[in-house]
Structures are given as C-alpha cells and as structure tokens.
A and B are shown apart, each in its own frame.
Chain A
Amino acid sequence: AQSVTQLDSHVSVSEGTPVLLRCNYSSSYSPSLFWYVQHPNKGLQLLLKYTSAATLVKGINGFEAEFKKSETSFHLTKPSAHMSDAAEYFCVVSGRAGNMLTFGGGTRLMVKP
C-alpha cells in the first residue's frame, strides 16, 4: 500500500519569492511520484514526475522536485513565484506498475502581489 501526506494545506508567498510545497510519501516498493496542479475550476495538469531516474526532476513552468529516499520526501520548489502559480497542488504516488494513483490532500498556493 502507498500513501501521501502533504504537510501544508495552505501556503502563501509573495510574488518573486521562492515556493516550497512539502510532500512525504509511504510505499512498500520503489515509488513513482508526481506533482499535479489544478487551477480554479480546471482539470489536472502534470507538473513533473519521478520514475526512478534522476532524483532531481525538472518540470514545467520552472518547478522542480527532489526525491529523497532517506527522508521519504518529494518536495516541490520554484525559485520565484508568479501570480499565475496560484492554484491547488497535489503530490501523488503511483501504485505498483503504475496501476493507480494515490493523491495527497492538496496544498493551496496563494501568491500575493
């Protein structure tokens, strides 16, 4: 079985400052991990994914995440927040062989001007 915990339900940053969204996972096997973003009243868009290759994963829109097995973490970062980054972000772990996704509870990112 696998599970995901997003440590912050809300994160507020000022435009131009760094973003850190925290995610811890639990899995009985080597996991595949994802970050998805959902803008208001929109669908889910894949930001980036880790599938046992490089531990530092670069995604779209300047986001990146680092897989740390020793800490069972997969935190999402961005050096400089933009107003358009305001959205709900989901950390997700894939089941064995990718047969299903388990979502974290989500983190709402707010960006202040």
Chain B
Amino acid sequence: DTAVSQTPKYLVTQMGNDKSIKCEQNLGHDTMYWYKQDSKKFLKIMFSYNNKELIINETVPNRFSPKSPDKAHLNLHINSLELGDSAVYFCASRSQGNYGYTFGSGTRLTVV
C-alpha cells in the first residue's frame, strides 16, 4: 500500500530512557515532517526535512534529534525521556510544490 507508515504505533517507556520512532513513506515525496499532538489535541510542527536536509526546526529540546538516511525515511530519536514528552507523534510527507500532506497514523508515546 502507498502510505506513510510509522512504527511503533504505541510506545510505553520509563523516564530517562532513549527511544526512536521510525517513519517511512513510499509516495516519492520530497519533504517529510514530524508533528507533536499534546494531551489537549493541539498539533505543532517539530521538524521538516527536504531531500534529507533539515529545513524547519521549531523550538524543540535538543533531546529530540531527527535523522533522515534518505528522502523516504525520517526517524525521530529522543534522549532522556521526560514525562512531558508523552504525546502522539505524527509523521507526514508532501511533494514539493504540492499542498497535499499525507499523515501517518501516529505513535502514542507514554512516559511513566
């Protein structure tokens, strides 16, 4: 299926741990994003990569490090997890010059 796929779908971990969320798109899109949805459902952009190059980096703690090995993948690594990192993280992709975004189904991260 053509899609934006994220793994894992659910992630429960203890404070202080390091974890990664993976995202892959097979749509041939040039740009990929990470968005965070907090407990009040508010969605905010975190990062954007275009052809493996970081182009948007919002005010996100440097414990969060995106990595794009190729333009079809954008992974999110989080160090020293904190309770406030609990949220749903959405990956998305878009073709350059096109306003159509495709979102993944989200990763629900719970830090205990």
Which residues of A approach B to under 8 Å, CB–CB?
Answer: 32, 34, 36, 38, 42-46, 49, 51, 88, 90, 94, 97-103, 105-106
CA distance A99 to B100 in the complex (A): 11
Name 10 interchain pairs, CB-CB below 8 A, sorted by A.
Answer: A32-B99, A34-B101, A43-B105, A98-B97, A99-B48, A100-B33, A100-B45, A101-B35, A101-B45, A105-B42
Cβ-closest chain A residue relative to B45: A100
Q: Is the CB of B48 within 8 A of A43?
A: no
> In B53-108, which residues have CB < 8 Å from any A CB?
55-56, 90, 94, 97-101, 103-106
What's the least CB distance linking B93 to chain A, in Å?
A: 12
User: Can you add 14 more A-B contacts, CB < 8 Å, to A32-B99, A43-B90?
Assistant: A42-B106, A43-B103, A43-B104, A43-B105, A43-B106, A44-B90, A45-B103, A46-B100, A99-B56, A100-B33, A103-B43, A103-B44, A105-B42, A106-B43
Which residues of B approach A to under 8 Å, CB–CB?
Answer: 31, 33, 35, 40-45, 48, 55-56, 90, 94, 97-101, 103-106
- CB neighbours (8 Å) of A36 from chain B are 103
- CB neighbours (8 Å) of B101 from chain A are 34, 46, 101
Q: Is the CB of B100 within 8 A of A94?
A: no
In the complex with contacts A43-B105, A44-B90, A98-B99 CB distance below 8 A = yes
**Does more than half of chain A's interface fall in helix, strand or loop, or is it mixed?**
strand
- CB neighbours (8 Å) of A43 from chain B are 90, 103-106
Cβ-closest chain A residue relative to B103: A44
- CB neighbours (8 Å) of B105 from chain A are 42-43
What's the least CB distance linking A70 to chain B, in Å?
A: 23
Q: Is the CB of A49 within 8 A of B41?
A: no
CA distance A32 to B99 in the complex (A): 8
- CB neighbours (8 Å) of A101 from chain B are 35, 45, 101
CA distance A106 to B43 in the complex (A): 9
- CB neighbours (8 Å) of A38 from chain B are 41
Q: Is the CB of B100 within 8 A of A49?
A: yes
Cβ-closest chain A residue relative to B108: A41
